[in-house]
Amino acid sequence: MENEIKILSSIIQRRRSIFPPSYTQEEIPEALIRQVLESANYAPTHKLTQPWRFIVFRNEGKRKLGAELARLYEEETPESQFLQKKYEAIIEKATQSSCVIVLNAQLHPDIIPEWEEIAAFACAVQNMALTAEALKIGAYWSSPGTISQLGDYLKLEKNEKCFGLFYMGFHQEEPRLPKRTPMEEKVRWVND
Ligand X SMILES: Cc1cc2nc3c(=O)[nH]c(=O)nc-3n(C[C@H](O)[C@H](O)[C@H](O)COP(=O)(O)O)c2cc1C
The reply to whether 145 sits near ligand X by the rule CB under 6 A is no
Q: Is 142 in the site for ligand X (CB under 6 A)?
A: yes
CB nearer to ligand X: give 32 or 132: 132
The one segment of 89-97, 134-142, 153-161, 166-174 that binds ligand X by CB under 6 A? 134-142
For residue 83, the minimal CB distance to ligand X (Å) is 16
Site for ligand X (CB under 6 A): which residue of 21, 29, 113, 178? 178
Nearer to ligand X, 21 or 29 (CB): 21
Is 143 among the residues that bind ligand X (CB under 6 A)?
yes
Three-state SS across the chain?
A: CHHHHHHHHHHHHHCCECCHHHECCCCCCHHHHHHHHHHHCCCCCHHHCCCEEEEEECHHHHHHHHHHHHHHHHHHCCCCCCCHHHHHHHHHHHHHCCEEEEEEEECCCCCCCHHHHHHHHHHHHHHHHHHHHHCCEEEEEECCHHHHHCHHHHCCCCCEEEEEEEEEEEECCCCCCCCCCCHHHHCCCCCC
Considering only 57, 140, 167, 170, the residue that binds ligand X (CB under 6 A) is: 140
Q: Closest distance between ligand X and the C-beta of residue 61, in Å?
A: 21
For ligand X, the binding residues (CB under 6 A) are: 16-17, 140-144, 164, 178
